[in-house]
Amino acid sequence: MAAPWVAYAIAGGIAVITAVAGMRLTRLDAWFRNLRKPSWQPPDWAFGPAWTTIFTLAVWSAGRSWNAADPDFRLLLLGAFLLNVVLNIAWSWLFFTSRRIDWALLEVGPLWLSIALLMVLTAQVDTLASWLLLPYLLCVSFAAF
């Protein structure tokens, strides 16, 4: 059995890959600046700290739930976390790279559901791990709005 920190290290590596992919797909150019946005949208500078916090909490959640789960349940957790990674990156690609706001709006539903699924799954092995994902769910909810 691997040391408990290994789960956090792997989750951290996956989070870094996800964040870098999202950043590389995000362009805050004239197209984005000219979009009609609500007056209550946070300033651009707030997104970096917000997503850093969200990814940090997700890594904490993944490590806690992985370490608390039995081997069979770990496969389910891994699949759910990887599905979420794919949907997270896909949203950035649809919205910022492809500039398909309509497709991004459709894709945010499965992304939101994948976070809810993670919360349900992690709650089965570690309640705190589930609550650590709430800011992520709220952020995606806010962004979709």
- Confidence (pTM): 0.93
How far is 123 from 22, CA to CA, in rounded Å?
A: 27
pLDDT tens sequence across 58-92? 999 999 999 999 999 999 999 999 999 999 999 99
- Answer whether 129's CB lies under 8 Å from 65's CB: yes
- Answer whether 136's CB lies under 8 Å from 115's CB: yes
How far is 90 from 33, CA to CA, in rounded Å?
A: 21
Q: Which secondary structure element, helix H or strand E, spans residue 49, and what is its range?
A: helix 47-68
Of the pLDDT bands very low, low, confident and very high (cuts 50, 70, 90), residue 1 is low
Query: How do the residues of the chain divide into helix, strand and coil, expressed in percent and rounded to 5?
Result: 80, 0, 20
Question: What percent of the chain lies above the pLDDT cut of 70?
Answer: 99
Q: What average pLDDT score do residues 16-43 get?
A: 92
